Structures are given as structure tokens and as C-alpha cells.
């Protein structure tokens, strides 16, 4: 028999939230302006906890360690919301696509286990964030399994596709999954910029309980802006590569890319591009983006994951590694506290995070209104019999 879940009343202004797989706290940075207060957080990496608390302080309970060791009894009472940016390792194109069966991405099931252990005290809204590969992993079966897990807990599920490029000059497409114990108002347009055609499979599966909440359209995609985040430094700064290293860089470019770069060099305006090191036909080469947008930042493990910044114009070309300050700016966290941290620690933390203003947009336009009842119909979700 289906059981209607009781929902806690929300009489306070601040919404109490838990942040799973918190990393360095960029989800928190986007949630707080929308009225959320993170009272509990969890992550496995001590270096990320150091960054998290160096930036946000310690006015929360931080569970450092494996999420498998966390139980519902460890969480505070009266949570309104829970966020989980669970690992993308097994869902990413850069991984081996083991999906939710993988050791790291499979930690999603510990999140739902913990929500189940909260029973009737579970938060009325949950949100998850991951790479677009989640939608296609194992032919869509992983997305269906994820939604079905949340349905079993009593949540109706919505799925959004939102690129960080709408907010910062970085190409960072991501999926946001929102589970609600309330039934949100429906968007009459099934296909939209937030729910493109390639995401429709999850909504067309009659075995799943889903909704499409009525939301405003997000900002348009940025086409420029890299120059606005580039850290200012003189031409004699030793972070610019020496001539020999620069020549090796230029020598690895294809004829088309080199011609494009020389055109930029001859321009009277200085412009910037980012570049990745790739392996083509077994040969390591550099490839420069054609636009004034950064490629997707990655965790700094191995040289191929790091981006270089290329400056060209007024008769010269210069190349260097992207700096920690630029990583922070490209993630929408220009004021994040970096003092006293190691460069690789910073690059790893930001490369493994979520774009702050993207989270803030979802929080302000969806999560907070949903929790406060502004997006909901009078009905409530019914728990799926299991």
C-alpha cells in the first residue's frame, strides 16, 4: 500500500542543509546566497577539508572519511535539504564508464542509504550534480536506476542540463538531479534548454516518477570572457615559459592551429586562449581552443589534465600554465581563500568541483522556492511500495 510521507513545516527563513561529497565547498558557496545554511558536510580528502574550513570556518559538523561509514544517525535533525556531488570518475568520458557499478560513482547508493535511514525525517528536497555522461551511462540504465532509487524514498525526480559556460567563461556541462517530496508545478514545454532532447529518455520512462518543474530560462551561453579572468602579470614574470619550451609547444601545433595563432599574434589587440595537451596517433600534441572560453577544468593529476594559457597579439606569443587564481575565477569563486595552500592542492580542489553561480542559479530559481512551497502544487509525493 502506498504511504503518504509527512512533510515538516518550514517556519524558519534559513534552510538547514547537508552537503555530501563536499570537496572544497563550492556547492555551499552557491547555496548560501539563496538562504541555505550548511550544518553538516562530508568528504574523504583531508586536503579538501583543509580548504573547505580555511574558507568557510568551522560552524558546521564535518565528517571526514568514507561516506560508507556515515549513517543516518550521524546527521543533524530537521534537515530541509541535502546536496550530493557524488564522484563522476566512472561516468566521465575520461574514465572507463563503469557507471554506478563503479567503486567511486557507486557511492551514490550510500547517499540514498543514508536518506533511507533518516526515515520520515529525510529532507523534503535533495539535489545531485554530475557529468552529462550520467544520462547515457549504460544506455541510460544508470540514470533510470538513480531515479528509481530516489523514487523508492518518496521523491519525484527532475533532471536539468546546465553548462557552467552560462555563468563563467568555462565550458563545463553538468546534470543537476532534483528530488522532491512535494509535487512541483509542471513546465508545459517538455523540451527546453534545461531539458534538451538527449535528456528526454528519463521523462519518457513510464516506470519512473518524474516531473519537469516550471523554471525561468537560464542566461545565454558566454562566447567571450577569458580575458576577464586571466591573472595580470608582466611579460618578464617567470611563470611564462622560456623560449625553448614555447618553441616545443608551437612545434606540436597542427598547421591550422598555428596559422590561427599567428593571425592572433599579428593582431593589434592582445587576446587569450587555453590549450590542452592531447595524444593523437600516439604522439603528444597541444591543441588550442578556437574561442575565448576555457576548456573544462580537470583535477590536476598528470600533465594532460592541466590547461595552459596562451597570450597572443602585438607581434608576440607567450605561453604558461593556468594559475590557481585563474582556476578559482573560472569556477566562479574569485574570493575563495587560497593563502597558505599548495598550488596542486588548489588545482585539484577546483578541478573536482562545481561552478558556484550555476549552483546559485539552481538554488535561487528551483531549490529554495521548492522548499518554501512557491513551486509546489497542494499534492505530496507518495512513497513507492517496495
Cell numbers at 40, concatenated: 553538516
The answer to whether 99 touches 346, Cβ cutoff 8 Å, is no
Distance CA 313, CA 267 (A): 5
Cell numbers at 217, concatenated: 530560462
341 phi, psi to nearest 5 deg: -100, 150
pLDDT number for residue 256: 94
Among candidates 7, 263, 2, 256, which has minimal Cα distance to 125? Answer: 7
pLDDT number for residue 106: 56
Question: Which positions ≥6 away from 378 have C-beta within 8 Å?
Answer: none
Among candidates 237, 385, 375, 249, which has minimal Cα distance to 317? Answer: 249
Distance CA 74, CA 259 (A): 59
Distance CA 159, CA 209 (A): 12
* Best CATH choice for the domain 3-222+353-383 from the list 3.30.930.10, 3.40.50.150, 1.10.1040.10, 3.40.50.880: 3.40.50.150
Among candidates 63, 86, 31, 102, which has minimal Cα distance to 359? Answer: 31
Tell me the mean pLDDT per 10 residues along the chain, length 386. Answer: 37 83 97 97 95 96 93 94 77 50 64 94 95 82 90 95 98 96 86 96 94 96 97 94 96 95 96 91 91 89 74 97 97 97 94 95 97 76 48
Q: Where are the alpha helices (DSSP H) in the chain?
A: 26-31, 46-56, 108-117, 133-136, 141-152, 201-204, 226-229, 243-251, 255-265, 324-330, 343-351, 356-362, 368-372
For residue 191, the 8-state DSSP code is S
pLDDT number for residue 379: 63
Q: Is 175 helix (H, G, I), strand (E, B) or coil?
A: strand
pLDDT number for residue 377: 65
Beta strands in 185-300 (DSSP E): 271-280, 283-288
The answer to whether 158 touches 178, Cβ cutoff 8 Å, is yes
Among candidates 19, 17, 31, 25, which has minimal Cα distance to 363? Answer: 31
pLDDT number for residue 11: 43
pLDDT number for residue 55: 98
Query: To 10 degrees, the CA torsion angle through 66, 341, 53, 14?
Result: -110
Query: To 10 degrees, the CA torsion angle through 3, 4, 9, 10?
Result: 100
Q: Residue holding cell 587569450?
A: 272
Provide the whole-model pTM. Answer: 0.91
The domains of the chain are located at: 3-222+353-383, 232-322
Q: Residue holding cell 518543474?
A: 213
**CA 369, 374, 379 angle in degrees (round to 5)?**
115
pLDDT number for residue 281: 84
pLDDT number for residue 233: 94
Per the document, the length of the chain is: 386
Distance CA 89, CA 346 (A): 19
Amino acid at each position: 500500500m502506498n504511504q503518504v510521507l509527512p512533510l515538516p513545516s518550514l517556519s524558519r527563513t534559513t534552510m538547514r542543509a547537508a552537503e555530501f561529497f563536499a570537496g572544497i565547498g563550492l556547492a555551499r558557496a552557491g547555496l548560501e546566497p539563496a538562504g541555505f545554511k550548511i550544518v553538516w558536510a562530508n568528504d574523504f580528502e583531508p586536503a579538501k577539508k583543509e580548504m573547505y574550513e580555511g574558507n568557510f570556518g568551522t560552524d558546521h559538523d564535518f565528517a571526514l572519511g568514507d561516506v560508507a561509514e556515515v549513517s543516518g544517525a550521524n546527521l543533524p535533525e530537521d534537515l530541509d535539504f541535502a546536496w550530493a556531488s557524488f564522484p563522476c570518475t566512472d561516468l566521465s568520458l575520461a574514465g572507463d564508464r563503469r557507471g554506478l557499478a563503479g567503486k567511486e560513482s557507486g557511492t551514490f547508493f550510500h547517499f540514498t542509504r543514508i536518506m533511507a535511514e533518516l526515515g520520515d525525517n529525510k529532507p523534503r528536497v535533495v539535489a545531485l550534480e554530475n557529468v552529462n555522461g550520467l544520462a547515457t551511462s549504460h544506455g541510460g540504465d544508470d540514470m533510470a536506476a538513480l531515479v528509481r532509487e530516489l523514487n523508492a524514498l518518496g521523491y519525484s525526480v527532475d533532471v536539468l542540463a546546465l553548462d557552467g559556460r552560462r555563468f563563467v567563461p568555462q565550458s563545463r556541462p553538468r546534470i543537476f538531479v532534483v528530488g522532491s517530496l512535494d509535487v512541483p508545478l509542471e513546465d508545459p514545454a517538455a523540451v527546453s534548454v534545461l531539458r534538451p532532447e538527449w535528456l528526454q529518455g528519463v521523462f519518457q520512462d513510464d516506470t519512473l516518477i518524474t516531473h519537469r518543474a516550471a523554471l525561468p530560462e537560464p542566461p545565454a551561453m558566454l562566447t567571450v570572457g577569458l580575458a576577464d579572468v586571466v591573472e595580470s602579470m608582466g611579460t618578464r614574470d617567470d611563470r611564462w615559459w622560456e623560449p625553448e619550451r614555447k618553441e616545443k609547444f608551437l612545434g606540436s601545433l597542427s598547421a591550422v592551429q598555428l596559422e590561427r595563432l599567428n593571425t592572433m599574434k599579428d593582431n593589434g589587440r592582445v587576446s587569450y586562449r587555453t590549450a590542452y595537451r592531447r595524444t593523437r596517433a600516439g604522439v603528444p600534441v597541444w591543441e588550442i581552443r578556437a574561442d575565448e572560453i576555457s576548456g573544462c577544468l580537470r583535477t590536476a593529476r598528470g600533465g594532460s589534465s592541466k590547461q595552459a594559457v596562451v597570450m597572443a597579439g602585438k607581434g608576440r606569443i607567450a605561453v604558461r600554465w593556468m594559475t590557481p587564481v585563474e582556476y578559482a575565477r573560472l569556477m566562479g569563486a574569485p574570493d575563495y581563500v587560497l593563502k597558505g595552500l599548495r598550488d596542486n592542492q588548489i588545482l585539484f580542489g577546483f578541478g573536482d568541483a562545481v561552478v558556484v553561480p550555476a549552483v546559485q542559479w539552481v538554488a535561487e530559481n528551483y531549490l529554495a522556492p521548492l522548499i518554501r512551497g512557491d513551486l509546489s502544487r497542494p499534492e505530496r509525493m507518495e512513497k513507492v511500495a517496495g
